[in-house]
Amino acid sequence: MAAKEDLQSKATPRRLRHSRPGTVKQGPNLDVLLSMGFPKTKALKALVSTGGRSVQAACDWLFSHVDDPFLNEPLPREFVLYLRPSGPLLQQLSHFWQQSRLICGKNKAHNIFPHITLCQFFMCADSKVEALCEALESVVSQWRGRFPSPLPLELYTSSSFIGLFVEEQVAELLKKFAADFATEAAAQADVHVEPHKKQLHVTLAYQFQTNHLSSLEKLAKGIEVSLGCDWLAVLFSRDIRFANHETLRVMYPYVPQNEDELELVPGDYIFVLPVEQGSTSEGWIYGTSLGTGLSGLLPENYVDQADESDTWVFHGSHSFLSCNPPAGMAALVNKASDGLLDGPFIGDSSAMGQAPLGIVCQPMQVLRVFGQTKPPKRTLFVCRHGERMDVVFGKHWLSQCLDAKGRYVRTNLNMPLSLLARSGGYRDYEKDAPLTVFGSTQARLVGEALLENNTTVDFVYCSPSLRCVQTAHNILKGLQQEDRRRIRIEPGLFEWTKWVSGPSLPAWIPPTDLSAAGLSVDTTYRPHIPVSKLTVSELYDTYISRSFQVTEDILADCLNMGNTVLIVAHASSLEACTRQIQGLSPQNAKDFVQVVRKIPYLGFCACEEGDARLWRLVEPPVLPLTHGPNHSFSWRETLLQD
């Protein structure tokens, strides 16, 4: 096969127009790829995975997937046929999507754009996709003039679902269209399509919190369903391997430090099994890249939640009112055929007539308090620890820092100058990593910000994890209180033990040893939940109950003895230690994990005590601390040229 540069030079000048703008034709593009030396199976897979847009897009896909372990596997993709609205009705639905997400946060309906489902997901081999697209085009042509317009839609609401249902008699016509498509698809593409048998509808919201029902219902009643709309028959596909996965978007680049880690490129998407998000240790998850097909461990704070349909591939759109695509669609398909759009065509929101759906509310709604330098009531601060060594330098970071004699030698300025001695030797750090130099700096900045706002801390409680103890100590340094306040190490504040890898808990450094090393630790404190009471792989309910109980015990200990308590622990602690003291019920485990994933290093929240011993979230006295990744720099590799 020719070199990559030669192949790209051949591919770039070829700009192939499709015979019809509504359907993506891959035949001519396949001929070009075959003439370039690509095997037919790989060429077809690349064309289908990019929607048949162009030779250039297919080449780019092949080059990026050269190490994909499934590149040579004859896996079919899953396809689905939807009716998508356009025109004024779509604008109304898009407005509802935006407002409902802003006001009530994301619910299950936001995973996919507004649509009416015409069939179940079905499989189609790569070699049959062009025939499948032609089958859809043929059936839509037969139905022009017969398709009911406008579609009569009626609002329906329940405690967990809101939608617009198609009037029954008209719905039967749409089901007949779906049946005709199934027949044509079987004849032309040899695929089995199962038409949707349930009531046809546009889902507006489902699986939302009960207290959001009235707000969502009010927004839904504002949709003018009688507005004009050209309903489009649209074909999408998805990778069959990731049908039941969570979809995440890469926010920051990451260069692997170990062989089992995954490179991250901003804009790429990562597929993660829901069980993986709740079972891996804090800071790391296991996922697969859409852009490369490779799998590995990745730092979870480098990715954010995305919608399921963000990674779907577009294969064609047809209007029932006109042989031409709707405004904006023809231009978009022409751009795709010219190779002007990068990456897989996953439904560009603006060009497809859909407003962007990426507006997510913060996981915690805070109440703003102005003009106060010191809270007059009892206040609880909960803070996550700072940047940790094993996330920045990989879980095998320790092996990078031990010389031939087993002595610690830092190899990067962001590594601490020295490590504390441990009874079990340096290997105890593998499950109880310290802060990076920047992590200590982050913590000191938060302490300095508290000092600038005239905020004092009366009591400091801390998880036994070394990174948490170091964070608490550096916050006190920033507050200039490290000699006046002592950190009470409370094992009950440790993270969910299900996230701990291996058969045992970490071997934490005893408070006496921490104090001897110069950390501001109270060696006389007797914890409410000793280490002996913690169990490996505890249930979610057990962790939530433990966190709530220890928080209440801490607040009771400090009653009438001081106004402000600081807890320094883990990302999960900001939710687990504050939710129930507000009188709220715990979230389910899946939603809990989604909240935890959004909390960065030194994430900081404040709770203020109100009437009846109920607490409420208030504005913290410190500004947020935003920071980004900074890769290792080798002047030799970058600047030294032969």
- Just list the catalytic residues: 384-385, 570
C-beta atoms surrounding 641 within 10 Å: 4
**Do residues 147 and 322 touch, judged by C-beta distance below 8 A?**
no
For residue 2, which phi and psi values (nearest 5 degrees)? Answer: -65, 160
- Which residue ranges make up the annotated binding site? 467
- Cα distances (Å, whole numbers) of residue 141 to 22, 108, 284: 12, 34, 51
Strand ranges, E, within 176-274: 201-206, 232-238, 246-250, 269-272
**Residue 542 half-sphere exposure toward CB, CA atoms < 13 A:** 13
Between helices 4-11 and 55-64, what is the axis angle to 10°? 160
Separation CA 566–CA 456 (nearest Å):
10
Picking from 499, 497, 421, the residue whose alpha carbon sits closest to that of residue 466 is: 421
CA 108 to chain CA centroid, Å, is: 14
User: What is residue 435's three-state secondary structure?
Assistant: strand
For residue 342, which phi and psi values (nearest 5 degrees)? Answer: -90, 150
Peptide bond into 150 cis (omega under 30): yes
Separation CA 290–CA 70 (nearest Å):
12
For residue 296, which phi and psi values (nearest 5 degrees)? Answer: 170, 180
Which position has the token pair 């109880």? Answer: 432
- Which residue ranges make up the annotated binding site for substrate? 467
Which position has the token pair 């790989």? Answer: 42
Angle at 32 between CA 30 and CA 36, to 5 degrees: 115
